[in-house]
Structure 1
Amino acid sequence: MGENADRVNVIALCRGDVQLDTCHSCINNATRLILQLCPYQKQAIHWAPGDSCMLRYSNESIFGKPETVPRFYGWRIDNVTSRNEFNQDLGTLLNNLRSKAADGGSLKKFAAANTTGPDLLTIYGLVQCTPDLASDDCSNCLNQVIEVLSQCCSGKQGFSILTPSCILRYETYSFYNDIPQPPPPPPPQPVSAPTPPILAPPGKDDNTSRTIIINTVVPIVAGLILALFIGIVIRMRRKSKPQEKYESKFNFI
């Protein structure tokens, strides 16, 4: 919005599992706070508590440009018991979520799921990119935040990182809302098979053909002859009477 030096670019994004009314409320509060806390700033970003939404504005173009700074991240102080096995299961989960989010459309690049970890733990993961990013840019952004995780917080039972272009979080408890699955496609309609032709028994084709010809063609020919005879008789009778003229009127309604 605006022109030249007064032009402003804004991105408002809610987490993919947040309900619509919660999203509206979060963005409204973020709008109020960012104007209060950052007056007259050319660039600012606000992450709501619980990372429910993010609001970012800049006097420079920000659309379609991946950005991982500034970043905010934290981790739980509890460590897992089986670190290697946990990191392996976590890595598989995050890579699957990264691919799913990157393949999202222009309206949502979000993925959340869980997997079974060692020592009876369940790992819950969530990733999201701003939907203006291309698929490769989203994937690269998430790769960078996964690298931050591996450098600082390996073996922790929980971790969260927020950047302007993508976010990532995992926990050993469920922290995101249930995500409705799209309805399955309707089953294909059965295609009715064409009615097979009635075939005559072997050895009776000739007799059947003759029967069809006799029963069909002969009555037609006889009917034509009879109609021709009746027409000749009627014409002869008309010639013996004076001709009459008829006048017709057609009304068009």
Structure 2
Amino acid sequence: MCAAGVAEAGTGTFIYAGCSPSKYQPGTPFEANLESLLTSITNAAPNGGYNTFTAGANGTGGGPAYGLYQCRGDLDNGDCAACVRDALGQLGQVCPAAYAASLQLEGCYVRYDSSNFVGTPDTAMVYRKCSTSVSSDGGFLGSRDAVLGDLQQGVVNGYKVSSSGSVQGVAQCLGDLAVADCATCLGQAVGQLKGTCGTALAADVYLAQCYVRYWANGYYFRPTQVDEDQDRAENVRGLATGQV
């Protein structure tokens, strides 16, 4: 199985976001802790592709905030930092004053919450996208299954790209997942992908702690075919929070 480069797309391309319905009030301890948390994320991103943070959880700050960021595994630190800055800027616009929020760009992912979610197993489906163009060609389906099998079994350090024939794919797990947990998450993602997208020429499935994507060469990132009116996309699960 040959490794493949990730298809050409800007790291700042928006994929999905989720916001809690409950909002915090200005001037509250949670707002101050969240600002501290987001500053820590911004400062850490130039030094590595994944990290988790807490603010105000020592019992003295009130209203603790928990968060993380992760960049796509092939990005260097500079591109990672730029993507995270972009993601945090968009997050503030899409989810203003939300107690919990997450946002996925092409090149990175950011999330925060008022409840500690870090390290808690979660394989719920968050987002999926299936191309409306399909193929029953045996060669395509064989290549697709080979790519998905390789991604499911061969992820190293949480990230892998793969190709077979006309199909390319990429998979990634959150940085704190153990190898066995990553494999379990990817197995569920592949099952969801096949079950919900069938024989689509391109498909993405994002679970809470991992994602799997594949596309046929020359298809996935053509602008006329990533428009929402041509491909079926669904933000499956919004964020919940204990705040009311």
Give the TM-score, by structure 1 length. 0.58
Q: What does residue range 210-225 of structure 1 map to in structure 2 within 5 Å?
A: none
Higher relative contact order (CA 8 A, sep 6+): 2
Query: Residue 210 of structure 2 corresponds to which residue in structure 1?
Result: 166
- Judging by fraction of residues, say which structure has more strand: 2
- The one-letter amino acid of 2:133's match is D
Counterpart in the other structure of 1:126: 170
Size of the alignment, in residue pairs? 163
Instruction: Choose the corresponding residue for 1:40, options 97, 109, 114.
Output: 97
**Alpha-carbon RMSD:** 2.2
CA distance in 1, matches of 2:208, 2:78: 23
Q: Which of 162, 185, 193 is the matching residue for 1:149? A: 193
Asked if 1:98 corresponds to 2:152, the answer is yes
Contact 1:64 1:133 (8 Å CA) reproduced: yes
TM-score by length of 2: 0.60
Partner of 2:121: 66
Corresponding residue number in structure 1 for 2:183: 139
Q: Secondary structure at the match of 1:71?
A: strand
Output the CA distance in 2 between the equivalents of 1:63 and 1:159.
27
Letter in 1 for 2:65: V
1:214 match: none
Aligned partner of 2:141 in structure 1 is 87
Percent identity of the aligned residues? 23
Query: Deviation string for 1:54-99 (max 9, x for gaps)?
Result: 101122222222323351111222112415x533432232122122
Change (3 A) 1:70 1:151: closer
Structure index of larger Rg: 1
Q: Partner of 2:6 in structure 1?
A: none
Q: 1 CA distance for matches of 2:125 and 2:211? A: 12
Tell me whether 1:10 sits opposite 2:67 in the alignment. Answer: yes
Which protein is richer in helix relative to its size?
1
What is the match of residue 113 of structure 1? 162
Structure 1 unmatched runs, 5+: 117-121, 177-253
Aligned ranges 1:151-230 → 2 under 5 Å: 151-173=195-217
Q: Unaligned regions of 5+ residues in structure 2, if any? A: 1-54, 222-244
Moved over 6 A (4+): none
In 1: Cα distance, 2:88 partner to 2:82 partner? 10
Distance 1:47 1:95 in 2: 24
